[in-house]
């Protein structure tokens, strides 16, 4: 067939339409996926995949749902990777560099090979965000790692055994809870609600007929 | 990359009109215009796509054919072969589903001292929550109030929602944001801590809070991390396939199935929370979907067979802007935030044909009209679409806005050689949300004692149309609500003798109504494997 390409799923040859993503190509080949398939839109990291094009020594990585098949693609999916996730209490966790020494000390064994960055399916600068974590710069680590889908491919390539996505997860939670500025209008509104400030008007609304509410809805003022 | 001559010619018209279109403020539709366009073009109004249920608590009411087939299908089990005497799990709270609602419920139940367990047919976090891009509503700014939010949500839902559920949604919204923020969820904020908020379709105040366009992912991964920190057991790749009742007719657990080995197990529980999400993967009316792989309405099937009533199961949401091109991302969500930030909908002639921030049902109907009735769509190869003129965003807000505020969209289209900062994108409605679901009271309980429901599986919170940002909100508010309710309840529950008699009774009812089918349900996963 003219518009087909040859791909190798776990080493076995299939001919599939060239327009398909790797995930759809597996289904075209007859796989009923259970593992290795999640949101199908690039957000969940379930479909981490490693491939090599015949003749090219470079090992490539991607999300199967986001990547189109190519001729002579040798494909292995990585539906699970044993990341290490440490247990901590977000309410009492240290927000300084010490927390990394305590929970993820292996990040200090990073040899700087940059294999994590090369492997990232989201094209993130993984080694850089680990460097920020090492220095306790959690706001920068959070920002640099923000698009991480926790697929684990970086960790599969790491000679130091670092679980990069979990390190970044901790940094983002510290950033969200402790480092980002507090929101005064939010705190105030929660207090006002607990104080019952809006109750009377809401009770009035809930007692109104649909015609009355339609009148309000159709004539409400819309912020520009 | 756009290569078709038709697309390239049309893009020239879009470009020529861009500056004028960006400055143009289209009128909003009147109430009458909205009613007319919905009645004529919205998929919910195509009567031939619906049928009456013949049995069960909603007998005589209409639902889509695809849902009817699953609600009135055979069980996956023979109740006589299930050993109910020796349950593998015995807990205070069984949460079915590992998305935003299930995780929130589990965390709050755990706070309340319950022995809680999550079962999920895929992994924790494999859920529509993970994919929610645009944001989460809460009336927390000085010019806003829960009452204004109430009117937006209730009116946007066509005055059909349950008052007490909308009240809970809007009143607990600010607290939900605070709770998430204190768990470590990051939000887009100004240097002084003020939340960066925008409009969504149908909002009258800018109350959409976001974490770039990974809002749901940021919330979901944080909730997952918290569940794991608390060491709440998560039994993954395990589906609930029937609710178990006790001899008093109360929910008392579930029959579980390992998705890989198909081993059956029994979980006994004092209370059960259904948090199984939506139904996009049933592809109603052949629409593509923005939904997660597991969105197959399982919770509705489980609850219905056990005797719980549904509400508005005939009401679906078609998100106006699913990706219509290229085919690799056909049906994927293009977040409403793209329109919140200033991109307008433009037809093949380069004309703006509507206000971009009408409610989703009106907006989807308007796009369908433009393509099907007015012949102003653009051919995509798979069908038709209209332009969403993304470069307008940077025209309005300055260069760099797209990368900063909607990086996931930039990444998704860039994979296929389309730079949304410079080129418009093609969109068409995609099946996005199940407005209806299982009927609940404000404590989260269904019509069956001790069976609670949270998240997209609930019906009645949003009436017949949900506003952007009220779903992420609802999974948090009603997830927490269910978790607190079961925590308060489980201590007083004594579980009686477990039974699956209702499964046999349902089979008899099917027979009595003359329903003969090979179909088994819940469906669990869509079947996309090509049959050679």
Q: What is the DSSP string of B97-118?
A: --SHHHHHHHHHHHHTT--EEE
Judge whether residue B133 has pLDDT over 90.
no
Structural tokens at position A36? 């290795």
For residue A126, the distance in angstroms to the closest alpha carbon of chain B comes to: 17
Range of the domain at A208: 184-216
Beta strands B310-311 and B316-323: pairing type? unpaired
A90–chain B nearest CA distance, Å:
7
Rounded mean pLDDT of B231-245?
A: 98
Is A93 part of any domain?
no
pLDDT tens column, B388-425 = 999 999 999 999 999 999 998 999 999 899 999 999 99
Q: Across the interface, do A213 and B159 touch by the CB < 8 Å criterion?
A: yes
Mean pLDDT computed over B318-336: 93
pLDDT classification of B382: cutoffs 50, 70, 90: confident
Residue among B143, B194, B290 whose CB faces A223 most closely:
B143
Provide, as residue numbers in chain B, all residues whose Cβ is less than 8 Å from the Cβ of A24.
328, 528
- DSSP, res A179: I
Banded model confidence at residue A182, pLDDT cuts 50, 70, 90 = very high
How many structural domains are present in chain A?
3
- ipTM confidence: 0.97
Region B227-244: mean pLDDT is: 98
pLDDT, tens digit (0-9, with 9 covering 90-100), for B437-447: 999 999 999 99
Cβ-based neighbour number of residue B529 at 10 Å: 14
Query: In terms of domains, do A61 and A14 share one?
Result: yes
A151: nearest Cα among B169, B380, B362, B217:
B217
- In chain A, the residue whose alpha carbon lies closest to the alpha carbon of B334 is A41
Q: For chain A, say whether B31 makes contact (Cβ under 8 Å).
A: yes
Chain A residue at shortest CA distance from B527: A32
Give the number of beta-carbon pairs within 8 Å between A and B: 213
Q: How close, in Å, is residue A30 to chain B by CA atoms? A: 5
**Which residues does chain A have within 8 Å of residue B328's beta carbon, measured at their own beta carbons?**
19-21, 24, 68
Identify the pLDDT of residue A2.
Answer: 59
Q: Are residues A173 and A192 in the same domain?
A: no
Residue A153: inside a domain, yes or no? yes
Please confirm, yes or no, whether B305 is among the known catalytic residues: no
Cα angle for residues B258, B262, B268 (degrees, 5° grid): 50
Residues 6+ apart with CB under 8 A from A123: none
Of B131, B193, B229, the CB nearest to A183: B193
What are the tens digits of pLDDT across the range B158-211? 999 999 999 999 999 999 999 999 999 999 999 999 999 999 989 999 999 999
User: What pLDDT, in 10s, does the model give residues B461-498?
Assistant: 999 999 999 999 999 999 999 999 999 999 999 999 99
Of B149, B319, B355, B480, catalytic: B319
Which residue in chain B has the smallest CA separation from A33?
Answer: B529
In angstroms, rounded to a whole number, what is the distance separating the alpha carbons of residues A83 and A184?
Answer: 37
Contacts of A29 in chain B (CB under 8 A): 530
Tell me, rounded to whole angstroms, the distance of Cα B103 from its chain centroid: 15
Closest Cα in chain A to B225 = A169
The answer to whether the Cβ–Cβ distance between A184 and B415 falls below 8 Å is no
* Residue A85 counted as domain residue: no
Q: How confident is the model at residue B381 (pLDDT cuts 50, 70, 90)?
A: confident
Q: Are residues A122 and A150 in the same domain?
A: yes
The residue to which tokens 């309340």 are assigned: B112
Check pLDDT > 70 for residue B372. yes
Could you tell me if A48 and A11 lie in one domain?
yes
Give pTM, 2 decimals.
0.96
Task: Clarify whether residues A168 and A191 are in a common domain.
Answer: no
Any domain includes A82: no
* Distance between CA atoms of residues B170 and B431, nearest Å: 25
Reported as a single tens digit per residue, the pLDDT across A93-103 is: 999 999 999 99
In this complex, do A87 and B186 lie within 8 Å of one another by their Cβ atoms?
A: no
Q: What is the per-residue DSSP string for B424-441?
A: -EEEEEEEEEE--EEE--
- Whether residue A206 is found in the same domain as residue A137: no
Beta-strand pair B425-434/B316-323: antiparallel
Look up B292 and say whether it is catalytic: no
Whether A65 shows a pLDDT value over 70: the answer reads yes
Q: What does the pLDDT look like over B249-294, one tens digit per residue?
A: 999 999 999 999 999 999 999 999 999 999 999 999 999 999 999 9
CB distance B475 to B176 below 8 Å: no
pLDDT mean over B132-138 = 93
Beta-carbon separation of B174 and A41 below 8 A? no
pLDDT at B227: 98
Q: Using an 8 Å CB-CB cutoff, list chain B residues near A34.
A: 122, 237, 259-260, 525
**Residue A31 is assigned to a structural domain of this protein:** yes
Check residue A179 and give its pLDDT: 98
Same-domain check for residues A189 and A175: no
In terms of domains, do A67 and A30 share one?
yes
| Residue of chain B nearest A90, judged by CA positions | B183
Give which of B89, B97, B149 is closest to B122, Cα–Cα. Answer: B97
Cβ of B151 and A189 within 8 Å?
A: no
Contact B306, B251 (CB under 8 A): yes
What is the per-residue pLDDT across B57-72, written as a single tens digit (0 to 9) for each? 999 999 999 999 999 9
Query: A202 and B412: CB-CB below 8 Å?
Result: no
Measured CA to CA, the distance from residue A143 to residue A94 in angstroms comes to 19
Confidence band for B134, pLDDT divided at 50, 70 and 90: confident
Same domain? A153 vs A102: yes
Residue A87 lies in a domain: no
pLDDT for the residue A61: 96
- Same domain for A113 and A57, yes or no, is no
One domain for residues A55 and A127? no
Best of B34, B146, B359 to mutate (most A CBs within 10 Å, chain A): B146
- The CA–CA distances, whole Å, from A215 to A91, B184, B451 equal 47, 41, 38
A contacts of B259 (beta carbons < 8 Å): 34
The active-site residue, picked from B76, B209, B339, B369, is: B339
The bridge status of strand B451-453 relative to strand B264-274 is: parallel
Residues 6+ apart with CB under 8 A from B281: B289, B291, B292, B293, B294, B295, B296, B525, B526
Specify the DSSP class assigned to residue A177.
I
Residue A1, pLDDT > 60, answer no
CB contact under 8 A, B222 and A176: yes
Contacts A150 to B, Cβ<8 Å: 221
List of chain A residues whose C-beta atoms are within 8 Å of the C-beta of residue B183: 90, 173, 176-177
A88 found inside a domain: no
CATH code for position A13:
3.10.20.740
Instruction: Give the gap in angstroms from C-alpha A133 to the nearest C-alpha of chain B.
Output: 16
Average pLDDT, chain B: 96
Residue A27 shares a structural domain with residue A61: yes
Q: Is residue A84 part of a domain?
A: no
């Amino acid at each position: 067939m003219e518009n087909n390409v040859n791909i190798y799923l776990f080493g076995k040859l299939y001919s599939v339409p060239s327009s398909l993503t790797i995930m759809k190509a597996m289904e075209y080949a007859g796989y009923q996926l259970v593992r290795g398939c999640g949101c199908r839109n690039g957000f969940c990291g379930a479909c981490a995949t490693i491939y090599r094009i015949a003749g090219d020594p470079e090992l490539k990585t991607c999300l199967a749902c986001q990547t189109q098949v190519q001729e002579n693609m040798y494909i292995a999916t990585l539906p699970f990777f044993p990341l290490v996730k440490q247990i901590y209490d977000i309410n009492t966790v240290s927000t300084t560099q010490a927390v990394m020494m305590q929970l993820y000390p292996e990040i200090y064994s990073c040899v700087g090979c940059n294999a994590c960055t090369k492997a990232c399916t989201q094209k993130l600068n993984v080694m850089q965000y680990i460097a920020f974590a090492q220095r306790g710069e959690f706001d920068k680590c959070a920002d640099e790692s923000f698009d991480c889908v926790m697929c684990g491919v970086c960790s599969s390539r790491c000679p130091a055994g670092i679980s990069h996505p979990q390190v970044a997860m901790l940094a983002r939670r510290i950033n969200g809870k402790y480092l980002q500025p507090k929101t005064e209008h939010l705190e105030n509104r929660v207090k006002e609600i607990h104080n019952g400030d809006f109750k009377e008007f809401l009770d009035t609304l809930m007692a109104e007929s649909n015609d009355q509410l339609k009148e309000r809805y159709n004539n409400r003022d819309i912020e520009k | 990359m756009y290569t078709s001559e038709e697309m390239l010619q049309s893009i020239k018209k879009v470009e020529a009109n861009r500056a004028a279109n960006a400055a143009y403020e289209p009128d909003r539709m009147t109430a009458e215009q909205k009613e007319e366009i919905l009645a004529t073009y919205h998929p919910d109004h195509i009567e031939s796509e619906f049928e009456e249920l013949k049995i069960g608590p909603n007998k005589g009411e209409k639902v889509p054919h695809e849902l009817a087939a699953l609600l009135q299908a055979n069980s996956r089990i023979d109740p006589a072969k299930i050993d109910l005497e020796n349950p593998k799990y015995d807990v205070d709270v069984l949460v079915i589903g590992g998305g935003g609602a299930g995780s929130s419920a589990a965390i709050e139940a755990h706070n309340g001292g319950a022995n809680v367990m999550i079962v999920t047919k895929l992994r924790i976090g494999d859920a529509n929550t993970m994919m929610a891009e645009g944001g989460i509503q809460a009336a927390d700014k000085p010019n806003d109030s829960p009452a204004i939010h109430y009117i937006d949500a209730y009116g946007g839902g066509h005055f059909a929602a349950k008052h007490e559920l909308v009240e809970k949604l809007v009143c607990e919204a600010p607290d939900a944001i605070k709770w998430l923020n204190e768990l470590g969820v990051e939000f887009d904020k100004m240097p002084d801590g003020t939340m960066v908020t925008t409009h969504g379709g149908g909002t009258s105040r800018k109350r959409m809070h976001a974490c770039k366009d990974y809002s749901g992912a940021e919330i979901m991964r944080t909730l997952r991390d918290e569940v794991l920190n608390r060491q709440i057991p998560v039994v993954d790749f395990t589906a609930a396939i029937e609710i178990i009742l006790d001899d008093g007719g109360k929910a008392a657990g579930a029959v579980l199935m390992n998705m890989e080995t198909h081993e059956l197990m029994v979980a006994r529980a004092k209370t059960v929370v259904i948090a199984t999400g939506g139904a996009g993967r049933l592809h109603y009316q052949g629409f593509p979907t923005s939904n997660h792989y597991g969105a197959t309405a399982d919770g509705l099937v489980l609850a219905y067979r056990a005797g719980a009533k549904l509400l508005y199961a005939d009401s679906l949401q078609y998100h106006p802007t699913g990706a219509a091109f290229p085919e690799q991302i056909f049906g994927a969500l293009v977040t409403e935030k793209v329109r919140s930030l200033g991109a307008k909908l433009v037809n093949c002639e380069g004309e703006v044909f509507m206000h971009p921030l009408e409610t989703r049902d009106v907006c989807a109907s308007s796009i369908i009209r433009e393509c099907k009735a007015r012949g102003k769509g653009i051919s995509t190869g798979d069908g038709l679409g209209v332009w969403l003129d993304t470069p307008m965003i940077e025209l309005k807000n300055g260069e760099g806005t797209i990368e900063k505020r909607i990086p996931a969209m930039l990444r998704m289209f860039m994979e296929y050689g389309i730079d949304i900062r410079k080129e418009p994108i093609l969109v068409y409605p995609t099946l996005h949300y199940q407005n209806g679901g299982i009927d609940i009271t404000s404590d989260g309980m269904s019509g069956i004692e001790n069976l609670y429901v949270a998240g997209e599986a609930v019906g009645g919170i949003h009436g017949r149309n949900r506003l952007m940002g009220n779903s992420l909100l609802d999974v948090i508010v009603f997830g927490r609500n269910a978790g607190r309710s079961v925590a308060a309840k489980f201590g007083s529950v004594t579980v009686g003798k477990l039974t699956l008699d209702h499964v046999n009774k349902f089979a008899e009812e099917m027979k009595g109504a003359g329903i003969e089918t090979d179909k088994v349900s819940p469906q669990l996963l869509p079947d996309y494997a090509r049959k050679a």
